[in-house]
Structure 1
Amino acid sequence: MDPFNRRTAMRAGLVIAATPLVAGISPALADVGATAFKEKWAPNPGVDGLKAFVGIEDDRANSHPSATHIFAESEQYRFVMHKSDRDGSDRQRNEVRAIQKNGARQDMKKNETWRFNYQMYIPSSLKGTSSFTHIFQVKHTAVASPVVTVSLFRSGSTESIELRLFGAGQAKLGSTPLAPLRNKWIDVEIELKVADSGRARFALKDGATTVVNASRSGIDTWLGGDQAHPKWGIYRSLGDSGQLQDTYLLLRNMKAYRDE
């Protein structure tokens, strides 16, 4: 039995839709340079649980103590967000922070190139907003700004998913419509060289179709500190309240590689 009980979230008023678990592991989106990358992290949710991550930011403001929001299930990680959850007065956050293997952190050091591959399931209830709704970040410890984010954005009635480059003024990389990617497993690949003059690549694959494969070089991806680390989950502003619903995000087949 999983150590985190989904019924807690359901008792809190969130109906969790039935979603598929494993339908086969998709290969990496791109094999360019694959022989130079070494696998550094590939957690099994049913075995490693939440110990795959250094920090668990599950309702850290204790706004909803009767519910658990982050689960390690047998084949996937589940992030739950309720409309009532708070992380301060103007935002919500249920995220995991940094990765570890056998208790040892796997951090991103300056001038290293890392690649993250995983599969993601975005339900209809997780909306793009006109303010920030991040579902992935790379951060430095003690630096307020993220390095990059994967964000769900709304302009008028159009929703998109995109990677944003904060060292380049939040420039968008690889924006594509969100609606066709909902309610199914999609493949994600994020490649990042963390450096004063670094580079980023963002790719999304829907089944056999690559819908995004965008890259940019010569951008500042090292914003300070001595390491960088990934974050996954739901981190969103309350500013576009009409789009906020009880919702969740699913991730599986998570892997991290470092270019050696």
Structure 2
Amino acid sequence: MKKLIYPFITGIIAVTLTACGSNDEGKQSNDEDQTKTAQTEQQDQKKQQEKQMEEMQKKLDKQKVEEKETVAIVNDKELLGRDYNMALSSLQMQMQQMGQDPTSAEAAKQVKEQTIDSLVGQTLILQEADKKGYQASDAEIEKQLAKTKEQYKDDKKFEAALKQAGLDMTALKTQTAENIKYTKYVEKEIPAEQVTDEEIQAYYDQSVQQGSASGQEPPKLEEIKPQIKQQLEQQKQQEKLVQQVEELKKSAKVDIKI
């Protein structure tokens, strides 16, 4: 699912100080000095953090292509740079959340390949969904748009997110409709397989083993069994989805342009 995201998240830097002094007057003066010092350090750290994020964003932006450039043709569907750039940004963000650097030479190559592969696969699924008659109603689109807007405090922040993502409401509605069709197709045509208790137990045992190496106390199986079950179902469904895309590729005409 394509989501609007902010590339920058500015955290609040907490600075803890211990006041000291031999008398009240000296203590008060020292407190004031330390408060000023703390504020200055906080501002300096914030500026440094913002500068680092700006530099990182410049590196990430260099991986983008021209918005009107044709990056691939899937059957009769032309995929443009704006589609590629949005998928690229999403993948870059995922890598950063996992503590990986998407700007290294090796990672940049990997990100490019995965972005193209993701776009092609998504397009093939949507084309198959169209063939089978899956549609998104106006009511479904409006409901999903309302949920998207709820992520933002007000219309200004929502509009800023749209602008940051290079979208307008028309493009957002189109993407929302595609997402609904995609989801309907996957849920109906590629249902999640049943997960056995043995698979859940094996997954739990592996997690416990990994957690024990770091000294973490694992939760009881009963407490997290539903989450494990859901995750394993999603993994199985994803594997089937990949297989479906590979099958569709066999009869498709895919021309990568970048």
Give TM-score, length-normalised by structure 2.
0.21
Which of the pair has the greater relative contact order for Cα pairs under 8 Å at 6+ separation?
1
Give TM-score, length-normalised by structure 1.
0.21
Identify, as 1 or 2, the structure richer in helix: 2
Compare CA radii of gyration and give the structure with the larger one: 2
